[in-house]
Amino acid sequence: MRLHVVPDRAAAGAVAAREIAREVRTHPDLVLGVATGSTPVTTWAALAACGLDLTRVRAFALDEYLDIPDGHPESYSAVVEREIVRPLGLDPARVRTPGDDGKDAGAPERYERDIAAAGGVHLQILGIGRNGHIAFNEPGSSLASPCRVTRLAAQTRRDNARFFASLDDVPTHCITQGIGTILRARRLVLLAFGAQKADAVAAALEGPVTSTVPGSALQLHPDVTVILDGEAAAGLAHSETVLAGGPIPFPAPRVASPSP
């Protein structure tokens, strides 16, 4: 796991955008896993500022509300279109959100199949919820879970109420990529900011791997980059070890000192 602790969201967005841009330069038809929410906003802004041609990039969103009217401005298909597709100049025909081909019982399985048919996600951008969720995999989700319909945790609904007129208007159900789906992406990039995320970040990165903290599944993945501001990193006890990253240099051989 590579850990970057940076001064603020703008710096974090620049690091994440650099990772994406590097991949796009070598794979112009990259399959990018996109996240919604506040966390990746600066990543999309920094990526847009790179001025790269992203028209061949394919994208799959992590999740979508189920019980939300079509075309609602806070549906994730609308958010993805407004905050990601248009500013980045993606081809809308190459961008998918769960259930965009019909929110019927077969939608999660089709989405899982379509990700696999695209060759799998190459690089997945992730945020983390205050309760440790990744995508809408709430505490208790199987670490092997597939795309599926599930219920939002009460805390997630309260956290997302800021996007709606009232708590009652926040959807209760969603289609989400599973933790198993996310773990199949070749690279994961997790971002988190602010003191309200510190406990979830510490539990996910340094606690036991458990379905109680869905983000802890990242410890099972071989290629994870974590980008935090200082507040979100504040609960990490072993950050120096993680920060060191990379192979530990082999110690130079000791020269036996002559016996006195």
Alpha helices in 131-250 (DSSP H): 154-160, 179-183, 198-206, 230-233, 239-244
**Would you count residue 99 as binding ligand PGA (CB under 6 A)?**
no
Q: Give dist(CA 200, CA 129) in Å, integer.
A: 7
Find the shortest distance in angstroms from Cβ 215 to ligand PGA. Answer: 9
Q: Give dist(CA 40, CA 34) in Å, integer.
A: 9
Where does this chain touch ligand PGA (CB under 6 A) — which range of 87-95, 126-134, 165-173, 223-231?
Answer: 126-134
User: Tell me, what amino acid is at 172?
Assistant: T
Q: Are 51 and 25 in contact (CB under 8 A)?
A: no
For residue 6, which phi and psi values (nearest 5 degrees)? -120, 165
Which residue in the set 13, 129, 132, 235 belongs to the binding site for ligand PGA (CB under 6 A)?
A: 129
Applying CB under 6 A, the site for ligand PGA has a residue count of 7
Which residue in the set 4, 39, 107, 217 belongs to the binding site for ligand PGA (CB under 6 A)?
A: 39
**Would you count residue 55 as binding ligand PGA (CB under 6 A)?**
no
Nearer to ligand PGA, 177 or 239 (CB): 177
Where does this chain touch ligand PGA (CB under 6 A) — which range of 24-32, 108-116, 128-136, 168-176?
Answer: 128-136
Q: Are 143 and 211 in contact (CB under 8 A)?
A: yes
**Would you count residue 177 as binding ligand PGA (CB under 6 A)?**
no
Handedness of CA 163, 171, 109, 214 (dihedral sign): positive
Which residue in the set 12, 31, 59, 128 belongs to the binding site for ligand PGA (CB under 6 A)?
A: 128
Nearer to ligand PGA, 4 or 133 (CB): 133
Where does this chain touch ligand PGA (CB under 6 A) — which range of 12-20, 34-42, 87-95, 231-239?
Answer: 34-42
Q: Would you state the structure tokens that stand for residue 69, as one six-digit string?
A: 């009217």
**Would you count residue 127 as binding ligand PGA (CB under 6 A)?**
yes
Where does this chain touch ligand PGA (CB under 6 A) — which range of 31-39, 44-52, 53-61, 227-235?
Answer: 31-39
Where is 34: in which H helix or E strand?
strand 31-34
User: 249: buried, middle or exposed (CB in 10 Å: 19+, 13-18, 0-12)?
Assistant: exposed
Binding residues for ligand PGA, rule: CB under 6 A, are 37-39, 127-129, 133
